[in-house]
Structure 1
Amino acid sequence: MQKKQSKKLGEMGKQGRLGERLSLLPYLIALGSGIVMGLTVAPVGAWFLAWIALAPLWILVITLSKRKNQSPPAPLALLWGVAYHGIALSWIMGIHPMDWLGVPWWPSLAIALFCWGFVSLYGGVFVAVWAAVMVRLAQQKAGIRILFGTAIWCGLEALWSAGPLWWSSLAYTQSPHNLIILHLGQLSGTSTITAAIVAFNGLIAEGWINYKENKISSAPWWFVNRYLAIATGLLITLHLIGLVLYIRPIAQPPAAALKVGIIQGNIPNKIKLAPEGLHRAITGYTNGYLNLVNQGVDAVLTPEGAMPFFQRDLIGTPLVSAVREKGVVAWIGAFGERGRSYTNSLFTVIGNGEIVSRYDKAKLVPLGEYIPFEGILGGIVQRLSPLDEHQVPGSPNQIFNTPFGQAIIGICYESAFPEQFRRQAAAGGQFILSSSNDAHYSAAMPLQHHAQDIMRAIETDRWSVRATNTGYSAFVDPHGRTLWISGYNTYETHATTIYRQQTKTFYVRWGDWLTPLLLGSSALGWGLVIRNS
């Protein structure tokens, strides 16, 4: 009798341990698939995984919602989102150590971890909201779930990008490798690509759910499942549309040609404001300008904050003296003033040394250039700006005129906000000038930054010139092809001919029209469901 009881207790223990493992399995699947999605961007760049990495989470959300006495799927979605955004944005840890700002090692590590954790959790919350909506649709037909799932995801991304903290859209998982699908951005911006990725994952997921629930045949499910057939047709059709846009010839009339040079100064942030850094900036950018002028350029672009001077002091620098001597336009990154505050600005200096236009960075880096809810977080994070004054954003409706026509400007973080570029293109911007300083992050960040600029060039159908402090500087054509890219942590100058354009894509004309259409269609579909129930 005692042996039987012991055996029974042993079996119960085994079942308990098995139950624990099974209860952890959904979390492991969610975590794993989120990590897989994070591998789609630099430095790994496995972009193709984005087309399957959301499907496991979709399956978990729907299947668990249909079962009784199951934990809510929202925590799984939160875990997926934290894993994806945490892996994709792991370069944030590159801000540590912040000894160049006078922050001790341990507080610097704490600040970096806080920033990384905050943005990862912030992204995870949006995925959890998506899952919470999908739970309410678990009993609906698969087609309704796919429509709603795609619309809600696009709507949440649109909401997120309208705020100050934005970077890792699903769309940018395809940049810079899948240029064909990125051309869908000319139709309705990043929402077109995000919708394609979510819908494809949804079809794969619903195909699996349908197969497991019905078991309609002993044959392999991919031969009999209509959802996979639709997913395959959708993927082929979308790439064919992108291909048609991709192979369209780019007009290059001689009258629209503009030879632009860039200078990559390669001045580490640790010495940027020290005497050594100031000397290297003055010498490097002045000599680089003269070198490019000798190559016959029409204009020269410098990185964000290339000359760490206020506008009133910029006029007296050797670089502006060289512009005055050679007569070739220079776009110089420096600091503007607004009352007792300052702006991160790009100035147009013409041949007589006069500043004729100025663009102030409108999208500042949260936790880097300013503190959101500073009264609450300011004492925890402290201020990371290298200057004593408060940095303030520029107007969202700026126009940047140059001697060569109107330009589209993006300073550093602004590359993540397509609406900034769309608005300037719609207002008459003919080419993109992207000026950045990514020296305080790890090497993956400038690669992702370059990927963002590629998307902006395609969406607006514009040539793009990108000048950075330490890399990667580049020239990109309207099809997103990188014509030249610099090394990393190197001093370089390079010149390439670009062409001014005044074309307007559907996205430039109409903005993100797809997201409201999807949300409206979802509302209509829900109304029909209620009516027929």
Structure 2
Amino acid sequence: MEWLAGRIMLLSGARRALVAFVAGLIAVLALPPFGIFAAPFLSFPILVWLIDGASGNPDHGLLRRRFPAFFIGWCFGFGYFLGGLWWLGNALLVEADEFAWALPLAVIGVPAFLALFYAFAAAVARILWSDGMGRIAALAFAFGLFEWLRSFILTGFPWNAIGYAAMPVPLMMQSAAVIGLAGVNMLAVFVFAAPALIGTRKGLRAGLSLAVLLVAAHFGYGFYRLEQPLPQPADPAVTVRLVQPLIDQSKKIDDSERMAIFEEHLQLTQALPADGGKRPDIVVWPETSVPFILTENPDALLRISDVLQDGQILIAGAVRAEDTGAGQPPRYYNSIYVIDDRGQIVGASDKVHLVPFGEYLPLEGLLKAAGLNAIAAAMPGGFSSAVTRSLLTLPGGKTLYPLICYEAIFPGEIGNDALAANALLNLTNDAWFGNTPGPYQHFQQARLRSVETGLPLIRDANTGISAIVNGRGEVVTGFPFGTRGFVDTILPGKVALPMSPGEQERNGMLLACFLFSLALFSRASFILREN
């Protein structure tokens, strides 16, 4: 290991950049659909050794001296995000005539931009760098800091945060209930990078001991939490039907297919339960499953009332139009409707966090003038975002916390008010991305929101992955990707949380302070030894 570490430290030029890029690619193997937990234990030691050798000219200023580390972090991040997000280009091929020109921007441009967060993380870590365990703590702190910044800068895109690599299965997800994703991000980097100490020996015993202790706590707490008895479903028990219609995205944007798509959903809604039992209390359709403006189609609401039995409720994704008056065009919202057995809309919630360039255009006036349009916007001008999130209260009193599409990847989207809900509700349409890693990554991240809140998750997707997940992140029932049909199950009860989401965030910040202090202490000790 010492020989390997020395060789990597001394790499230069293109070989150095290539090794960093490949190390980032290898780390992607820890993410769905692969879930190879060991992959980052190879990637992050390589990154540490590369930063060890990234010492700038001492005659240069502080910023220029950190550029070698910045560049290595960027190459690592570019490999990680290119390998983890290449499937974004699939959405542009749905309407290739209009959007194929933007393929390089999605496949290469987005990873290149996101890699800047890891570049700054490496540069900041290098400022705190020492010759022992402190540099591992510095890297963990810096990655945790910039993963947190990635969750909200320019509306945020925390997709594939590094902590998810440490949480491939429910046993390994439970730590998020105590320290949140931000805390897991930092500790995961510390553990993944700790084997680098074998190659340099300094701080080996303390660093590996702490890493082993963290891994033991991670698994031990997961085992403890999964061994606790699950709560009983709320009384009376509520049966939920997930409808996964498997509609190809090219058909969803074809006006001539609208009625056929609508009838497809209705057919799966009125089908008899597979076990011959009672019909479900709640039927759930995916995001934008209603292919027209419901409030402008009373016949469609009538058809829904014909299909629903007494007391049944339909929850469906739809586009909602809002009249702005005075001859202005209406606003359109990506919404969820609650419809009762009489065909009445009795509840609605609009999407708050829209996808830039997908559902709306940033700098719309400028980009519209250049002939650009939002990719997934169903209406001219794209969607508008809701000011606040409206919880869905169903007839009978049950409350759902709605998350539309990629809103489920943002831990910060879920406040403590969610604890009053009976379940999380995530409607999505991952047909845009085909059978690529995207839908599998999306599902894993949505599951983590259940662990963080203790709430069961009702997740319905057009092509998959649809599932009912309990408050510990375990799949109760569902569909794999690319399966058409429906499934009925009883909605699980809420799981007691050791910490509220707010406390989890505070614990994550405390970990950041600890790692920063450890890095500073090690850096100070290193300077004193040098002098």
In structure 1, the gaps of 5 or more residues are 1-19, 215-223
State the shift of 1:24 in Å: 3.1
One-letter code aligned to 2:25: I
Residue 4 of structure 2 aligns with which residue? none
Matches within 5 A, 1:273-292: 273-291=253-271
Q: Measured at CA, do residues 179 and 52 of structure 1 come closer, stay the same or move farther in structure 2, by a change above 3 Å?
A: farther
Q: Is the 8 A contact 1:165 1:366 kept in 2?
A: no
Structure 1 residue 424: deviation in Å? 4.5
Alignment partner, residue 477 of structure 1: 470
Check conservation: 2:92, 2:99, Cα contact below 8 A: yes
Worse overlay, 437-446 or 377-386: 377-386
* Among candidates 78, 83, 87, match of residue 82 of structure 1: 78
Deviation readout 1:359-402 (Å, 9 max, x if unpaired): 11112112211123334555375332232243011234422212
1:21 positional shift: 7.5
Which runs of 5 or more structure 2 residues have no equivalent in the other structure?
1-9, 60-64, 325-329
Deviations 1:64-85 (A, max 9, x none): 2288699712111101101101
Given that 1:286 and 1:322 are in contact with CA atoms closer than 8 Å, whether structure 2 keeps it comes out as: no
Instruction: Tell me the number of residue pairs that the alignment of Structure 1 and Structure 2 aligns.
Output: 496
Whole-Å separation in 1 of the counterparts to 2:221 and 2:309: 50
Q: In the alignment, what sits opposite 2:490?
A: 497
Say yes or no: does 1:305 pair with 2:305: no
The aligned counterpart of 2:428 is 436
Range that drifts further, 476-485 or 338-347: 476-485
Match of residue 197 from structure 1: 188
Structure of larger gyration radius? 1
Same amino acid, percent of matched pairs? 21
Report 1:16-415 matches (<5 A): 22-65=12-55, 72-99=68-95, 103-104=96-97, 108-138=99-129, 140=130, 142-163=132-153, 164-166=155-157, 167-175=159-167, 177-210=168-201, 225-253=205-233, 255=235, 257-291=237-271, 295-313=278-296, 315-317=298-300, 318-322=302-306, 326-338=310-322, 339=324, 340-378=330-368, 379=370, 381-384=372-375, 385-403=377-395, 404-415=397-408
Name the CA shift for 1:382/1:336 in 2 (closer, same or farther; >3 Å). closer
Query: What CA distance in whole angstroms lies between the structure 1 residues aligned with 2:306 and 2:312?
Result: 9
Contact 2:94 2:249 in 1 (8 A): no
Letter in 1 for 2:246: N
- Cα distance in structure 1, aligned partners of 2:516 and 2:188: 21
Of 57-66 and 78-87, deviating more is 57-66
1:433–1:292: structure 2 CA closer, same or farther, 3 Å change rule? farther
> Any conservation in 1 of the 2:141–2:515 contact (CA below 8 Å)?
yes
Change (3 A) 1:315 1:422: farther
Per-residue deviation, residues 138-176 of structure 1 (Å, max 9, x unmatched): 2x363443333222221211221124241120122245x
Query: Matched residue of 2:184: which SS?
Result: helix
Report what 1:486 is aligned to: 479
- Separation in 2 of the partners of 1:151 and 1:449? 26
Query: 1:301, 1:331 within 8 Å by CA — same for their partners in 2?
Result: yes
Give the SS at the match of 1:195: helix
Change (3 A) 1:299 1:314: farther
Question: What's the CA shift string for 1:447-497, capped at 9, x where partnerless?
Answer: 112111211121211221211111121122222222323243342111111
What TM-score, normalized by structure 2, do the two folds share?
Answer: 0.85
Cα 1:276–1:489 change in 2 (3 A) is farther
Q: Structure 1 residues 298 and 342, CA, compared in 2 at 3 Å: closer, same or farther?
A: same
Once the two structures are TM-superposed, the CA of residue 280 in structure 1 deviates from its matched residue by 2.1
Structure 1 contact 256–499 (Cα < 8 Å) conserved: no
Structure 2 equivalent of residue 517 of structure 1: 510
What displacement does 1:350 show? 2.0
In structure 2, how many angstroms separate the alpha carbons of the residues matched to 1:298 and 1:98? 35
After TM superposition, the structure 1 stretch with the greater mean CA deviation from structure 2, 316-325 or 117-126, is 316-325
**Where does residue 11 of structure 1 map in the other structure?**
none
Q: In 2, distance between residues paired with 1:365 and 1:267?
A: 21
TM-score (norm 1): 0.85
- The whole-number CA distance in structure 2 between the counterparts of 1:66 and 1:231 is 30
Deviates more, 1:437-446 or 1:147-156: 147-156
Q: Distance in 1 between matches of 2:388 and 2:46?
A: 39
Partners in 1 of 2:171 and 2:481 — Cα distance?
Answer: 27
CA contact (8 A) 1:292 1:494 kept: no
User: SS state of the match for residue 271, structure 2?
Assistant: helix
CA contact 2:243–2:460 (8 Å) conserved in 1? yes
Whether the 8 Å CA contact 1:408–1:429 is kept in 2: the answer is yes
Q: Partners in 2 of 1:524 and 1:307 — Cα distance?
A: 53
**SS of the residue 1:87 aligns to:** helix
Alpha-carbon spacing, 1:240–1:256, altered in 2? closer, same or farther (3 Å)? farther
Indicate the larger mover: 488-497 or 311-320.
311-320
